[in-house]
Structure 1
């Protein structure tokens, strides 16, 4: 059997001669959870080499505190600087790299104790409740069939491919690479904070594309995160 026959060629991305202007999705607004920023001096000073060498996927989870969740998202995803908005939305610099500084992937958060969707806002460092007809409990239940983790917080990566396509031809592979990089950075940041983190072999479809009444979202990954239980 020729395995190459199963490989999908996504083409080679290249910048458009004249970028398109893209109007990003307007997210519905709900309650807001303010995330704290608590990173200890010891955590700030630890060597990245040591973190990488000890990093392992962990599949046992306890409930994560808002302090730990806030630190994880700040270290990996928060906006450090805004740039040009010539594509119809601002480019940004964040700890997690992205092709063209576009950052087309929204991080959706499902907390174990709540049955609603939240979206991480990297500019304000808050969780925005995202009202949706799609029941969060359905998605949570499906993820438990992959890894049994009732106390874990679920991350779903929701890509807005139109953002990357505004700058690049054949842009799909850039979006997928952004998703892989985000999962990797989250995994390293979780290890630095002594959290359990487990990437999931799912895209998040068909749920992500059904999340909002507006079209334009696609699922590109997921993960569980939580506090590491005491032995």
Structure 2
């Protein structure tokens, strides 16, 4: 999972439970944030992009993509539940994030599987 905000891009390293700052081009970051903001203009917070490394599932399963798509849906659902628990706003964006994947190293084995916004809820 990648977290985008106005100044940086972070990768969630699930193996070490850490956030790692990525060297990501400002142009690619700003273009992605702009695309997300066109869908959800009042969002303030971070944009999440789910990216799957297809090397593992494809080495173990004949049709590993189906498992990755199911996991992506379950991950978005879990993030929505946890965001609600902590009083945060959460909205899946209906985007995949192919633009983000093309800007990453090893892009040929990566698959963009979803995007969402998370942050403080909009106050009326």
Which interval holds the TM-score relative to the shorter structure?
0.7 to 0.9
- The runs of 5 or more residues in structure 1 that have no matched partner are 1-106
How far is the alpha carbon of 1:215 from its aligned partner?
2.9
Q: Give the equivalent residue in structure 2 for 1:132.
A: 24
Tell me the TM-score normalised to structure 1 length.
0.49
Residue 132 of structure 1 contacts residue 212 of structure 1 at CA under 8 Å; is this kept in 2?
Answer: no
How far is the alpha carbon of 1:225 from its aligned partner?
0.3
The structure with the greater share of residues assigned to strand is 2
Q: Are residues 1:108 and 2:7 paired? A: no
Q: Give the equivalent residue in structure 1 for 2:75.
A: 182
Q: Deviations over 1:10-48 (max 9, x none)?
A: xxxxxxxxxxxxxxxxxxxxxxxxxxxxxxxxxxxxxxx
Q: How does 1:161-172 map to 2 (within 5 A)?
A: 161-172=54-65
Residue 209 of structure 1 contacts residue 218 of structure 1 at CA under 8 Å; is this kept in 2?
Answer: no
Q: How does 1:45-84 map to 2 (within 5 A)?
A: none
2: CA distance between counterparts of 1:109 and 1:190?
A: 15
Match of 2:42 among 143, 149, 168: 149
The structure with the greater share of residues assigned to helix is 2
Residue 28 of structure 2 contacts residue 100 of structure 2 at CA under 8 Å; is this kept in 1?
Answer: no
CA RMSD in angstroms comes to 1.8
How far is the alpha carbon of 1:122 from its aligned partner?
2.2
How far is the alpha carbon of 1:150 from its aligned partner?
4.8
Aligned length: 123
Q: Are residues 1:220 and 2:113 paired? A: yes
Q: Which has the larger radius of gyration?
A: 1
Mark the CA change 1:148 to 1:218 in structure 2 (over 3 Å): closer, same or farther.
Answer: same
Mark the CA change 1:214 to 1:205 in structure 2 (over 3 Å): closer, same or farther.
Answer: closer
How far is the alpha carbon of 1:149 from its aligned partner?
3.3
Mark the CA change 1:145 to 1:121 in structure 2 (over 3 Å): closer, same or farther.
Answer: same
Secondary structure, aligned partner of 2:108: coil
Q: Give the equivalent residue in structure 2 for 1:56.
A: none
Write out the 4+ residue segments of structure 1 that deviate beyond 3 Å after TM superposition.
none
1: CA distance between counterparts of 2:107 and 2:89?
A: 34
